[in-house]
Structure 1
Amino acid sequence: MELPVLNETPAASAGGCSSHSCGTSDDQLGHLSDEIRSKVENHPCYSEDAHHYFARMHVAVAPACNIQCHYCNRKYDCSNESRPGVVSELLTPDQAVKKTMAVAANIPQMTVLGIAGPGDPLANPERTFETFRRLSAEAPDIKLCVSTNGLALPESVEELSKHNIDHVTITINCVDPEIGAQIYPWIFWENKRIKGVKGAKILIEQQQKGLEMLAAKGILVKVNSVMIPGVNDKHLAEVSKIVKAKGAFLHNVMPLIAEAEHGTFYGVMGQRGPTQDELMELQDSCSGDMNMMRHCRQCRADAVGLLGEDRGDEFTMDKIESMEIDYQSAMEKRKVIHEAIAEEMHSKRAAKVEKAASHADEPKLNTRPVLMAIATSGQGVINMHFGHAKEFLIYEASPNGVRFMSHRKTDLYCGGDDTCGDGESVLQQTIRSLAGCEAVLCSKIGYEPWDLLEKAGIVPNGEHAMEPIEEAVMAVYKEMAAAGKLDEAAPQEERATA
């Protein structure tokens, strides 16, 4: 069966995974029990492989929060920012259920419904659990997830376990109260505002207790951590070890978003976010102790669609009110499509294993690693024009194989306005965002970007359109090796801004 396209318009989306990638790729799923595998293999956040194909949505039913973070500023009625805590519409539980049913009927690849804000879901228990209760009964084929800071988690575990909730995300930025006091100015605990180290200590204790309780219930836990240079960056490797020991399934180390225009404390005070190299180095240092998630897009609290895209404007409440939805028919359609996707994923995994076995006796290359940028709209293939990409997926090729590393957002230079606020062209900014990469693979590319990429020391390549990402990356890597381009490190200054 030919799989339906999730979004017919060009949109950057999902990347691939490999036997060498970090995250829950197919080799990492192989050691799991059938029960756990069934919980993650079609979850786009818990499985790097699944995010080629499956979509998620968040419903914004939880406005209040019980802690303050220096990196957070919740914004309402905002459609111009893509980051946690931002929403365009606050929903009642009734509206949230109606919206979920509409999205599930119109985007049958949607498998996951999450409540992630814009405040903390467990600080809004009535609204959160009413939404979950309704969806458990009315849409049992949808996985339910919740993301929380963990302060109210222990008292909520029993209620969470009563519903169709197999996945919980806890944001844990530290296990040291002294560091926590630099991140959280206060918490609201037992009807009191508690500041500084004392408040951070309570939060950390609640997070760790809640994690242990969830693990004991068999609920999969993903831990999110925000990397804040100079605050917790040297501490997060310890966090990773501790949360793994307490039963966490996956660790997602995310970069601090701290642009001043977002109005956060860190943004106003000039706290910088990590560089790409700093983030990847920390993720690598944690990966020895924990499965790492590298494909996170730090989604809005009302995100809809594949990771890396937002179709929320298609499902505002005024548009949903006019939709006629036969959810029974939609469920039947969803089942057929999910089975077809599962069959395709299984076939690709089997082909990958077979191909790896056929090359097992080949001598390993004696070459250095290379980063390559990929333009894709999903399903694990190179299928996007360079000028249409809103983000590029970054892969590392090395003698050990291919692994997904990160994603880098950019603006459409084929979208009209050709300049950024600082006078730099959008195309120049796009090429600057690919610093450190030595090749970019896309379906097509124009003459102007081709020339500027070459001047920046990045080789443009449009010869692998519609090929699987990892196979194409390795093919280009072998070509570079055969041409003698990988014998020594490429000077960084050769890959400067165009």
Structure 2
Amino acid sequence: MAQHVTTLHPERATAGGCSASGCGSKPDKLAHLPEAIRAKVKDHPCFSEEAHHHYARMHVAVAPACNIQCHYCNRKYDCSNESRPGVVSELLTPEQAVKKTLAVAATIPQMTVLGIAGPGDPLANPERTLATFRELSAKAPDIKLCVSTNGLALPELVDAICEHNIDHVTITINSIDPEIGAQIHPWIFWKNRRIKGIKAARILIEQQQKGLEMLAERGVLVKVNSVMIPGVNDQHLKEVSRVVKAKGAFLHNVMPLIAEPEHGTFYGLMGQRGPSHDELQALQDACAGDMAMMRHCRQCRADAVGMLGEDRGAEFTQDKIDTMEIDYAAAMERRAAVHAEIEAKRQAQRAAPPQTPNQAFVSVASIPRRRAELPSRSASRPLRIAVASSGGGLINQHFGHAREFLVYEADEQQVRFVGTRRVEAYCSGGDTCGEAETALAGTLRALDGCEAVLCSKIGIEPWDALEAAGIAPNGEHAMEPIEDAVAAVYAELSANGQPGERIADAALSA
């Protein structure tokens, strides 16, 4: 999959062979892939960064057991406010999981993918995992099936994976050096024995590499997840990326360690820190090369539902599903129509010429103009620009409602997506607005290093706080495609050295 870029200058040719200014269209970022692979990833929100703006996914928690221990993992139940791997609210039987999948797919037609990712390891629970996939293959043939695994049991189950039409597999590979691996995984359960230390790490690595090669030979798309642990494997992951690419991995996802003490993990209790945003991006860039990097991962719960970055799981608890009448044949027809509409919109966005910056999205005659007093910018360096979006590839979210910001990096040649920053919503309505000041301070910390933030609307108070932090607030590109807007703002900041005249309206309060 090509790196997510938008051409800003006519000398940069698009995938279609004509320049952005010459033909007035944007490149198809999957154009270089064979058609069979394009079909597998074009609507997969995890395997395609572009697709994640438009399509949803869900995980079903049917696999409680795990066959290895990781120092960054503490599997909990009934932790609905946590968003991290291994956390679930309900453990499901295969039958319950199938019914839930049908209910979600009928209710959320943008859903394209069903994955099993825990809360333990799906392949350490092969009967429950494969029974779920077997039923879904028969009852919901329009849904892509995915599985995530640590890889220890993978080689023995490759045939079963292929038999059940699972053509997307994620393997978590944190090292290819047993001495480093032993610092991350203290033990494995292998052939009815618990094995520790370097010996355990060596077995795990051998199984992971063997399974990866077997899947690649069978034409299964493999994404490799790696957890970046500063001081442990951060420098080593560049070699991991090189090796897994050589063995056939399609995509590499370098994720930050989650190690807050309240999660109760070994690393959290021992004070192991996670990486900064800059450290994570630097490592992802170093691993990239010719290897496609995933930068839009949200490190989802094992029972996540909805678009990446949101979780609608509370809408689909077992008691609610039991009362639902599901006509999945009708739902499939509706889903097909919705998917066709999405693809038509994506094609229209590619065909549309890059938009010029709007002067404002509200009347300039009725409100005062203000100038943000920010440091001058140099066009010789990239600028990071944060975006509030609720999906569709558009700038369509109020600053105060954002629970995450997409971060793009722009320079004279391209706009590229570099990651996400989670935040607490500044304003959720009702009594929660009393805590807005604390949430805003957290948002400002999360946006550190960004030089502008684009949203559909923003109030006076957060506007002033952003300016004071040296971040240019911008509400002038509401409902515009993200990359066009980022390109326009980069051009303005670079040309003017100041963000230019901005517009704020007291009526647009957060």
TM over 0.5: yes
My pick for the range that moved more, 423-432 or 235-244, is: 423-432
The match for 2:447 is 434
Which range moves more in the overlay, 120-129 or 444-453?
Answer: 444-453
**Number of the residue aligned with 1:280:** 281
1:473 equivalent among 478, 481, 486: 486
Contact 1:370 1:398 survives alignment (8 Å): yes
Q: CA deviation at 1:175?
A: 0.3
What do the CA deviations read for 1:93-113 (whole angstroms, capped 9, x no partner)?
000000000000000110000
Deviations 1:447-480 (A, max 9, x none): 1111111111111111111111111111111111
Deviation larger for 436-445 or 274-283: 436-445
The alignment status of 1:367 with 2:368, answered yes or no, reads: no
Cα distance in 2 for partners of 1:27, 1:291 equals 15
TM-superposed CA distance for 1:215, in Å, is 0.3
Paired residue secondary structure (1:261): helix
Is 1:157 paired with 2:144?
no
**Corresponding residue for 1:82?**
83
Q: Is the 1:376–1:382 Cα contact (8 Å) retained in structure 2?
A: yes
Distance in 1 (alpha carbons) for counterparts of 2:175 and 2:28: 30
Change (3 A) 1:32 1:20: same
Amino acid at match of 1:323: M
| Correspondences of 1:402-413 after superposition (within 5 Å) | 402-413=415-426
Alpha-carbon separation, structure 2, partners of 1:17 and 1:446: 31
Is residue 2:243 matched to residue 1:230?
Answer: no
Q: What amino acid maps onto 1:190 in structure 2?
A: K
Kept in 2: contact 1:419–1:425 (CA 8 A): no
Task: Tell me, in whole angstroms, the C-alpha distance in 1 between the residues paired with 2:379 and 2:440.
Answer: 35
Paired with 1:289 and 1:179, the residues of 2 have a C-alpha distance of 25
Deviations 1:336-379 (A, max 9, x none): 11112122212222336x889xxxxxxxx953211111111111
| Alpha-carbon offset, residue 424 of structure 1 | 7.1
**Cα distance between partner residues in 1 of 2:135 and 2:127:** 12
Aligned to 2:461: 448
Amino acid paired to 1:439: A
Counterpart pick for 2:403 among 381, 390, 410: 390
Assess if the C-alpha contact under 8 Å between 1:172 and 1:225 holds in 2.
Answer: yes
Structure 1 residues 200-255: Cα deviation after superposition (integer angstroms, max 9, x where no partner)? 00000000000000000000000000000000000001000000000000000000
The question of whether the paired residues in 1 share the 8 Å contact of 2:4 and 2:29 is answered with no
Aligned to 1:131: 132
Task: Return the letter of the residue paired with 1:388.
Answer: H
Contact residue 140 and residue 164 of structure 1 kept, 8 A: no
**Conserved? CA contact 1:136–1:164, under 8 Å:** yes
Instruction: Provide the C-alpha distance between the structure 2 equivalents of 1:20 and 1:318, rounded to a whole number of angstroms.
Output: 49
Matches within 5 A, 1:37-116: 37-116=38-117
Matches of 1:465 and 1:485, distance apart in 2 = 21
Letter in 2 for 1:449: P
| TM-score, with length taken from structure 1 | 0.89
Q: In structure 2, how many angstroms separate the alpha carbons of the residues matched to 1:199 and 1:288?
A: 31
Matched residue SS, 1:29: coil
1:28 Cα deviation after fit: 4.4
Paired letter, 2:272: Q
Give the SS at the match of 2:76.
Answer: coil
Contact 2:6–2:483 (8 Å) recurs in 1: no
2:141 and 2:251 mapped to 1: Cα distance? 25
Mapped to 2, the partners of 1:437 and 1:287 lie a distance apart of 22
CA distance in 2, matches of 1:409, 1:478: 27
Match of 2:5 among 9, 12, 18: 18
- Relative contact order (C-alpha < 8 Å, sep 6+): which is higher? 1
Structure 1 position 31, deviation (Å): 1.3
Distance 1:409 1:98, change over 3 A: same
* Aligned counterparts of 2:44 and 2:112: Cα–Cα separation in 1: 7
**Paired AA for residue 349 in structure 1:** R
Q: Aligned ranges for residues 310-349 of structure 1 at < 5 Å?
A: 310-349=311-350
Identity across aligned pairs (percent)?
71
Distance in 2, Cα, partners of 1:256 & 1:28 = 29
1:18 to 1:54, Cα distance in 2 relative to 1, 3 A: same
Cα deviation for residue 20 of structure 1 reads: 6.9
Q: 4+ residue stretches of structure 1 with deviation over 6 A?
A: none
SS in 2 for 1:135: helix
Letter in 2 for 1:74: R
Paired residue for 2:477, among 439, 464, 469? 464
In structure 1, C-alpha distance between the alignment counterparts of 2:160 and 2:198, rounded to whole Å: 30
* Structure 1 position 295, deviation (Å): 0.3
The one-letter code matched in structure 1 to 2:293 is: M
Q: Structure 1: 5+ residue runs without aligned partners?
A: 1-15, 357-364, 487-498
For residues 466 and 27 of structure 1, the distance between their equivalents in structure 2, rounded to whole angstroms, comes to 21
SS in 2 for 1:200: helix
Q: Which amino acid letter does the alignment assign opposite residue 420 of structure 2?
A: H
How much has 1:303 moved relative to structure 2?
Answer: 0.3
**What's the CA shift string for 1:74-101, capped at 9, x where partnerless?**
0012211100000000000000000000
CA distance in 2, matches of 1:451, 1:28: 37
One-letter amino acid matched to 1:240: S
- Partners of 2:231 and 2:432 lie apart in 1 by 36
Confirm or deny: 8 A CA contact 1:122 1:152 kept in the other structure: yes
Letter in 1 for 2:228: M
CA separation of 1:355 and 1:444: change in aligned 2, threshold 3 A: closer
Distance 1:261 1:424, change over 3 A: farther
2:403 counterpart of 1:400 = no
Match of 2:36 in 1: 35
The CA RMSD over aligned residues, in Å, is 2.0
TM-score by length of 2: 0.87
Contact conserved, 2:116 with 2:148, CA < 8 A, in 1? yes
Aligned length: 457
TM-fit CA distance, 1:18: 2.9
Distance 2:104 2:110 in 1: 10
User: Match of 2:494, as an amino acid?
Assistant: A
Q: SS state of the match for residue 323, structure 1?
A: coil
Structure 2 residue 187 is matched with structure 1 residue 200: no
Hey, what's the Cα distance between the residues in 2 that align with 1:384 and 1:104? 25
CA contact (8 A) 1:19 1:27 kept: no
In the alignment, the residues of structure 2 paired with residue 180 and residue 425 of structure 1 have an alpha-carbon distance, to the nearest angstrom, of 39
